[in-house]
Amino acid sequence: MIFLEALRPSRSIHVFLHIIHLWHLFMALIRRPYPERHTISSYRDSPPPWRHSGLSVLLRKKMYGPVITVYLGLQRVVVLVGYETVKEALVDQAEDFSGRAPAPFAYKATKGLLISNGERWRQLRRFTLTTLRDFGMGRKKMESWIQEESKHLVDLLRENQPAPFDPTFFLSRAVSNVICALVFGQRFSYKDAQLLKLLFFFSTLSQLYNIFPRLMDYLPGQHHAIFREVNELRKFSTEKIREHQETLNPDDPRDYIDCFLMRLNEVEKNLVSTEFHHENLTATVLNLFLAGTETTSSTMRYTMMLLIKYPDIQEKMQKEIDNVIGQTRSPTMEDRKSLPFTNAVIHEAQRFLDLVPLNVPHYATKDISFKGYIIPKDTVVIPLLHSVLKSVDQWDNPWTFNPNHFLDHNGNFKLNPAFIPFSSGKRACVGESLARMELFLFLVTLLQHFTFSSPGGPESVDISPEFSSLGNIPRRYQLIAAPR
């Protein structure tokens, strides 16, 4: 735990955030109105991006309409509000809104699948979806990997008895190993300190850079270390790719890297110009590894927080799991249909957390005609997931954690079409099916073996998330895992 404590943000980072906050408020006051030729209704008094929950815009929907102009820092963006509006953009006009907005930190640190546009994005996304499905994403092979990793996680928690602990790095190690199995064809020791350090710096320091990228390049501080850390991870990935090249068997591909190398060798042999080259391979490996770890582990951590906040819900889940699976057999995805309450709790935890309330920004790569407006080319577009997951039009009581949002009157699971925590359309999360599988199998396994509680009792647990430039992040907390 000494190592983990050493990685916590220093006071200088918190002070720096406050300075940035004050500077943002000052600039918001002196900024001039947008030129008169704009055609979209304007809303200028949104909170700073690291505190913005989307609520201010949502409450003004009837006044300003479902298509609103806001300012996040110095950037003018168009926000799409409400389920029908978001669906119309991301699904009905999917091609128009498939562009990805520039991300200064990401462009400086890496390229790859997640932030690309145009032909690069189309080729890499199609290949990645196909390859991950072939290697078990959503299938029995991946299920067995997660089941095996769940056992390692249970053993790790048992070793930590009886002391309270912060589950953050326990969960991120387990989740990252699932990605490692897909990408590298192997899992890594939970004691790999370098891996933990790289993950921590990426998730923490990238928040600073994305808020005010122009300032980041000129101000001294720890935020510059993130690029050194990303380079270390890039070196690690490059070494793994080299090892794969030396042992590649085209008749028996082992993982994502092998499949990419096979495609790369094919296009090189045919002298075809494509996006299958070493730079994109290294970058996409980083994308999959980092994005696939932080989001799923944060959701698991928040779900466990809710269970120690509401022990009666945890107890009801355990009774259902005991009746259907017992405490010895590993859960399977087939069990999910027999565990409606457990399934409902997991879905409701994702909805209530609202992990990425502002969505990952989209981009108008051309002038777009939408709902009677013209959205000019090069406009950043935010389909506000918060306005869908917390909408009074879609949920009986959106600001209350209530698994009944996903249960019918007979206690059967029901899926609300407004449940889109992974976004929707062509830019929906590539790893959605994998994340769903991880959340279910990991959480059910943990509840088979442990009862979770807080050292200070349920009343000491603050379930309100902290907002960062990356989204709603569960607060740090301590829990006790009592063996059953």
Question: Annotated binding site: which residue ranges?
Answer: 429
What is each CA distance from 465 to 62, 306, 356, 420, in whole angstroms? 27, 11, 11, 19
Which residues sit in the known binding site for heme?
A: 429
